[in-house]
Structure 1
Amino acid sequence: MSQNLHRTRRRAHVLFASIPAHGHINPGLGLVAELVERGHRVSYATTDEFTAQITDSGAEPVRYDSLLPGTSGAQRSEWPDDELTAQRLFLDETDLVLPQLERALADDRPDVIVYDVAAFAGLVLAEKWRIPRIQLSPTYVFSPGIEQVLGMTQDTAGKREVRARYDRYFAAQGVGLAFQDIAVPQRAIVTIPRGFQYFGDQVEDSFEFVGPMLSERAFQGGWSPPDDRPVLVISLGSAYNDRRDFYRRCLEAFGGMDRHVVLSVGRGIDPAELGEAPENFEIHQWIPQLKVLSHADAFLTHAGMGGVMEGLHQGVPLIAAPQAAEQFANADRIEQLSLGVQVDSGTVSPDELRDALSKVTKDPDIRGNVDRMQQEIRESGGLTRAADRVESLLEG
Structure 2
Amino acid sequence: MPIRSHLVPVVVPVALALRRAGHEVAIATGSAVAEEISRLGVPVLVLPRALAPEEVGRRPELMAGTGFSPEQFRQWRPEVTGPLSVPLFNGLMTAEFAGDLLDAAKTWRPDVIVRETNEYGGYLAAEVLGLPLAVLDIAPLISRLVPDLTERLNRLREDLGLPAIEEATHASGLLTAGLLPEPWYPEDQRTPGHRYYRVPATTDEQPLDPAIVDFPADRPFVLAGFGSNAHSLLATGSELMRSTVDALGSLPVRAVAVLGSEQAVAAWTGPRPANVHLASFVPQRSLLGACDLFLTHAGFSGVREALSAGVPMVAVPLFAEQPENAARVHGLGLGVHIDPAGLTADVLAAGLERVLDEPSCRSAARAFQRRILGLPALTAFTDALESLV
Number of positions where the alignment pairs a residue of Structure 1 with one of Structure 2: 358
* Map of 2:228 onto structure 1: 238
Deviation at 1:312? 0.6
Deviation at 1:256? 6.9
Deviation at 1:321? 0.6
* Map of 2:79 onto structure 1: none
Task: Check the 8 A contact 1:320/1:341 in 2, yes or no.
Answer: yes
Deviation at 1:339? 0.7
Q: Which amino acid aligns with 1:263?
A: A
Aligned ranges 1:197-208 → 2 under 5 Å: 197-199=185-187, 203-208=190-195
Distance 1:120 1:235, change over 3 A: same
Identity of aligned residues (%): 25
Deviation at 1:55? 3.1
Structure 2's unaligned 5+ residue stretches are: 60-68, 74-82
Q: Which amino acid aligns with 1:173?
A: L
* Map of 2:202 onto structure 1: 216
Q: Which amino acid aligns with 1:109?
A: R
Question: The residue matched to 2:255 in structure 1 has which SS?
Answer: strand
Distance 1:55 1:289, change over 3 A: farther
Q: Which amino acid aligns with 2:183?
A: G
* Map of 1:385 onto structure 2: 380
Deviation at 1:182? 5.6
Residue by residue over 1:126-158, the C-alpha shift from the partner in whole angstroms, topping out at 9 and shown as x without a partner, is 12222221122123369xxx95xx694xxxxxx
Distance 1:215 1:367, change over 3 A: closer
Task: Check the 8 A contact 1:246/1:346 in 2, yes or no.
Answer: no
Distance 1:294 1:113, change over 3 A: same
Match of 1:173 among 160, 164, 167: 160
* Map of 2:258 onto structure 1: 264
Q: Is residue 34 from structure 1 mapped to residue 13 from structure 2 by the alignment?
A: no
Deviation at 1:215? 4.2
Bigger shift: residues 254-263 or 37-46 = 254-263
Question: The residue matched to 1:248 in structure 2 has which SS?
Answer: helix
Task: Check the 8 A contact 1:311/1:317 in 2, yes or no.
Answer: yes
Question: The residue matched to 1:41 in structure 2 has which SS?
Answer: coil
Q: Which amino acid aligns with 2:302?
A: G
* Map of 1:46 onto structure 2: 29
* Map of 1:109 onto structure 2: 109
Aligned ranges 1:239-318 → 2 under 5 Å: 239-241=229-231, 242=234, 244-255=238-249, 259-266=253-260, 270-271=264-265, 272-275=267-270, 277-318=272-313
Question: The residue matched to 1:42 in structure 2 has which SS?
Answer: coil
Q: TM-score, normalised by structure 2?
A: 0.79
Deviation at 1:114? 0.7
Deviation at 1:367? 1.5
* Map of 1:127 onto structure 2: 127
- Looking at structure 2, the residues matched to 267 and 178 of structure 1 have their Cα atoms a distance apart, in angstroms, of 45
Q: Is residue 360 from structure 1 mapped to residue 343 from structure 2 by the alignment?
A: no
Q: TM-score, normalised by structure 1?
A: 0.78
Q: Which amino acid aligns with 1:264?
A: V
- Looking at structure 1, the residues matched to 164 and 305 of structure 2 have their Cα atoms a distance apart, in angstroms, of 34
Task: Check the 8 A contact 1:33/1:58 in 2, yes or no.
Answer: yes
